[in-house]
Amino acid sequence: MKNILSVPVVLFIFLLFPACNRQEKGIDISNIHFRISSPYGTHYITGKEIPFRATDANGNDITAAVTFLVDGQDIAGSSHIFRQAGHHTVGAVWDLGGTEKQADENLEAEVIDPRSRTRVLIDDFTGTWCVNCPRVIYHLEEAMQQVDGIVPVAIHNRGYNTDPFHFDGVDELADTYDISAYPTPLLNRKEVWDEQVASVREELARPAVLGIRIENRVTGNRLDISVDVRFDMDLPEDTLKIVVYALENGLHADQANATQYYGGQDPIPGFEHNHVLRHSFTSVLGDDIPAGEQRFDHVYRWTYSGEIPSEISDSAQMELVAFVVKGTEKPYVVNVNKTAIDETCDY
């Protein structure tokens, strides 16, 4: 009888110690805190992928350990594309050994449909001396006939000291974007354009997180420009710059040509060069937009008042281009707009 009773006693002691030990090593969930946030604040647009993150009380990133919920429904991963405008609630739970801990506070998001039109920038690194450059010029003109929303900028390099439209900032741009051959067209300064309309349409389909409005007036030789950047989302953590260029159309010079385009003539006498970059009002890579300005429904304003740039030979042929870029090493275009002289273009 004594030996039989010792079995449950031993089992009780064996089970007791692991239980006590687990409680000592376990986590008191009531004292655990974590919060959720987004680099895009709390104001978003439909169609844009919005990332979320989670941090514990010590600031450690625990994003991979939590499950995010949108309007009470689990989502896959840590990002979400909102398809409907309106108010949405983002929450998160952290599984701690079978017990779920909710975030200290939900993220209350306001989502709107994009208000601004998406446009794309195509930089054409070119030259009158460049025998293959007519190919890109031709394809760019062709694309502009097929789709609306392309803003071209022709950036000329002096080549063999023969290009009359050389832009002084071309070397800085070429070094930044690793331009080693001519022609090289860049699509939104993200990638080399493949000269296909499909890739342009793909960029145009992206929702615009901000819009750009350009207003300008010419009085004699005086030029007044006002560029408004309206934010349709919170972008507090983005490194943004504004770039403002003066272009000129209707410039004529002989164009070297080794292509089949434009009749295959070499050179093409008196070829008309359009959208030629003549002057940068900002740094050629852009001027900083303060982070405090990058909030929903806020308008950041850039202005210029002064003489028409001396590089412009005919002010009636001048175009103004303004765009916002994001990033530091190779900033890419967020959105762009352009206008003719003495005109206003809206967001």
Q: For residue 72, give the DSSP letter.
A: T
In sequence order, the β-bridge partners of residue 101 are 94
Fold of 29-112: Immunoglobulin-like (2.60.40)
Provide the pairing of β-strand 299-307 with 222-231.
Answer: antiparallel
pLDDT value of position 161: 87
In the numeric block, the tokens 């306001």 are attached to: 110
pLDDT value of position 4: 43
- Res 29 pLDDT > 80: no
In sequence order, the β-bridge partners of residue 94 are 66, 101
Q: Taking the mean position of all CA atoms in its chain, how far away is CA 91?
A: 27
Instruction: Map out the domains of the chain as residue ranges.
Output: 29-112, 120-345
pLDDT value of position 48: 98
pLDDT tens profile 278-322 = 999 999 999 999 999 999 999 999 999 999 999 999 999 999 999
Of 332, 327, 340, 119, give the one whose Cα is nearest residue 223: 340
Ramachandran angles phi, psi of 225, nearest 5°: -125, 140
pLDDT value of position 27: 57
Q: Compute the mean pLDDT over every residue in the chain, rounded to the nearest whole number.
A: 93
Q: Report how far residue 183's alpha carbon sits from residue 135's, in angstroms, rounded to the nearest whole number.
A: 9
pLDDT value of position 24: 34
The alpha carbon dihedral of 166, 170, 174, 175 has a sign of: positive
pLDDT bracket for residue 28 (50, 70, 90): low
CATH superfamily of 120-345: Immunoglobulins (2.60.40.10)
pLDDT bracket for residue 13 (50, 70, 90): very low
pLDDT bracket for residue 138 (50, 70, 90): very high
- Res 15 pLDDT > 60: no
- Tell me the average pLDDT across 224-247: 98
Q: Report how far residue 341's alpha carbon sits from residue 338's, in angstroms, rounded to the nearest whole number.
A: 10
pLDDT bracket for residue 207 (50, 70, 90): very high
pLDDT bracket for residue 73 (50, 70, 90): very high
pLDDT tens profile 245-262 = 999 999 999 999 999 999
Percent of the chain residues topping a pLDDT of 90:
89
pLDDT bracket for residue 14 (50, 70, 90): very low
